[in-house]
Chains A and B, each alone.
Chain A
Amino acid sequence: MGYLYTQIARFFETSMLSVGVHITTSIAGIFFFGFPVAFSFGAYALVILIKNGFTLWIAFIITILLSVLLGLIFSLLYRRLSNDGFAVFTFASVLAFDSLIKSWDSLTGGVLGISGISRPSFARTLVALVILQGILAICVFIFEYTLLQSPFGRALRAHNESKIFLDATGIPASGIGSFAITLAVVLSALAGILAIWRIQFLDPSFGGIAILLQILTIGILAMKPKVSGLILSVLCIVLLPEILRFFPFPSSIMGHLRILFYSVLLIVLVKQLSTRYTSKKRFI
């Protein structure tokens, strides 16, 4: 059953990451590509703090605070840069962060990574961890549902429609955007922490372009502001490529096939679904 538990755990971890992409990209229309950075950052921060003698809970709180700080840095960039500039720059941050954790080996273990990461006492086994992840994922889904029903959720949607209009109503569009980005970063960091408890080994391959492609695909598939749509999209995107394992492709191309699968799927989805769900622009 271990494989099935692993896939369920991956579903929950990706769900948490996807709530971030749902809030920012799908609903608020902010193209933020820094998810893998936040995902890795959460895992590295927690593991490094614990290795340096902090207790789990203190390390966890500091990690969340640090991820808020990271979110605020991204928000600062968001306020300063144009939309596409922000997207490209956050994409560059993925490569820069990868380079940083590989090079700063005295802190991060570099390319050799950090092994022997133990799970917390309340989630010692994979089953217990999956249950914990499930509870947290449900909490995050309920939180997103509540958020979307609230005036803030409507402000997020308005952010996608027209920032100028949002400003005109007295709600600062940049503040809404910043909050969405910071929230997405914190959720991604949390997903990173849960993922590292499953894998129990951390190296620079933990976050990367494959994760970015995966969650952007989920974000595009779940363009509507509905949590149910998001859950189905995550289920589909996380588990669909697993079927590839049962086909007799040469193992040497499996990894690349998976990336090709996500990238082509993302192109098709954006081409097909964007006209239906994005707001209609009025041309003068």
Chain B
Amino acid sequence: MIVQLLIYSFIAGTQVLILALGLFTIYSVSKVQHLALGGIAAAVAYAFYFASHDAALPLWGLIAVPLLVAILLGIISFWLNESFTKRQEYLLALLVSFSFGVALEAIISIVFGTDGKSLISGVSSVVSYGDYQIPLSGIFIIGFGAICALISLFVVKFTSFGRTLKAIAENSFSATSIGINERKIRLIIYIAVCIVAGGIGILSGLNTALTPMMGFNLIIMAFIALLVGGVTDVRGTIIASYIVALVPEFIVGIVPNISSNWKMVLVFLIAFVVLIVKPEGLIANKQRKA
């Protein structure tokens, strides 16, 4: 059972990780905690559902419709948050972002209803190895996570865009003073992260089912991972994403009287203890203060 739980937790942790990395990237370039990302993931997944089920579009439609929705939501996110980033009103940006996420979920509920939607019909395919199994959709999630990680690693390490990103994250004022167009970079990042979040929304829907609240549950886990890991070092986010997925899963899986409905409480308690002991997160870059 332990190995099987580990497999399921790894899939759940990868979903959290991809969103947490999206949050980390947006935070690095704009210092904004983009709470709406969960709602965006759900909205893109529902757009995919619309394209595949309601409109029954061919393959190009299944790619184009969610992609367009993700790009549009990326642009709206940028428009909503940019003025606050400029004025360094990060908390107001967080408030706007939170409201935007709630508004998206309300719109999804109005348009699609609150009962869940299944993206696939029939039993999901699983890949078995001995006594263990992994759902095909889970393999896609892990694969998607690996591709995203490789692309971002490549971009950050080997491209000028990556170096620009690092410069903005390090010191945005200095970056602007040497002629870097911060605005444009942030717009690109918002759009790219929304596309990735949409991708994980769709994959999560394939793995389980779509509900209007799915985004909130995912994003809260991702935020907790970001806080527990530390917002200044991506390694912390990676470790924390798997911790918040794995530890509660194991507690629920092993302790007989604790059911899975306690998972959120356990995640919160773990985060509470970690943050009280290490408020800057598990791994934090030392920063010089004035």
Where the two chains meet, the residues of A that have a C-beta atom closer than 8 Å to any C-beta of B are 29, 31, 33, 76-77, 80-85, 87-89, 91-93, 95-96, 99-100, 102-103, 209, 213, 216, 220, 252-253, 256-257, 259-260, 262-264, 266-267, 270-271, 274-275, 278, 281, 284
Contact = CB atoms under 8 A, between A and B. Distances in A.
B94 A87 contact: yes
29 contacts: A31-B95, A76-B276, A77-B276, A80-B279, A85-B227, A85-B231, A87-B91, A88-B33, A88-B223, A88-B227, A91-B98, A92-B224, A95-B217, A96-B265, A96-B268, A99-B263, A102-B261, A209-B102, A213-B102, A220-B95, A256-B107, A256-B109, A260-B103, A260-B106, A262-B99, A263-B100, A263-B103, A263-B106, A271-B80
Contact of A266 (B95, B262, B272): B95
Nearest to B114: A256
Main SS class of interface, B: helix
Interface string B65-93: 00000000000000010011001111110
A95 B35 contact: no
A83 B91 contact: yes
B275 interface: yes
Contact of A260 (B110, B261, B264): B110
A278 B89 contact: yes
A103 B262 contact: yes
A103 B99 contact: no
A233 to B, nearest CB: 16
Given A103-B259, A256-B109, A91 B220 contact: yes
Given A77-B275, A259-B102, A271 B265 contact: no
B33 A84 contact: yes
Given A99-B264, A274-B92, A87 B102 contact: no
B94 A84 contact: yes
A266 B99 contact: yes
Contacts of B100: 263, 267
Given A29-B91, A260-B110, A89 B227 contact: yes
A263 B107 CA distance: 11
A253 B224 CA distance: 31
A284 B177 CA distance: 12
B214 interface: no
A90 to B, nearest CB: 11
Counting from the closest, the 6 A-B pairs by CB-CB distance are A96-B268, A80-B279, A99-B264, A263-B103, A260-B106, A263-B99
A93 B267 CA distance: 10
A260 B268 contact: no
Nearest to B113: A252
A29 B90 CA distance: 11
Contacts of B275: 77, 80-81, 85, 89
Contacts of A99: 261-265
B109 A267 contact: no
Given A103-B259, A267-B99, A31 B89 contact: no
Contact of B265 (A100, A252, A275): A100
A281 B89 CA distance: 9
Contacts of A216: 95
Contacts of A267: 80, 96, 99-100, 103
A249 to B, nearest CB: 10
Contact of B35 (A76, A82, A88): A88
Contact of B89 (A80, A91, A92, A274): A274
A253 B110 contact: yes
Contacts of A96: 264-265, 267-269
B271 interface: yes
B103 A264 contact: yes
A31 B92 CA distance: 9
Given A266-B99, A267-B80, A278-B89, A31 B94 contact: yes
Contact of A95 (B99, B113, B220): B220
Contacts of B264: 95-96, 99
A271 B275 CA distance: 32
B72 to A, nearest CB: 16
Contacts of A33: 98
Contacts of A270: 92, 95-96, 99
B154 to A, nearest CB: 30
A153 B173 CA distance: 34
Given A85-B227, A263-B99, A267-B100, 6 more contacts: A77-B276, A84-B33, A89-B227, A253-B110, A256-B109, A278-B89
Contact of B91 (A84, A257, A264): A84
A271 B223 contact: no
Nearest to B107: A260
A263 B199 CA distance: 25
A152 B108 CA distance: 45
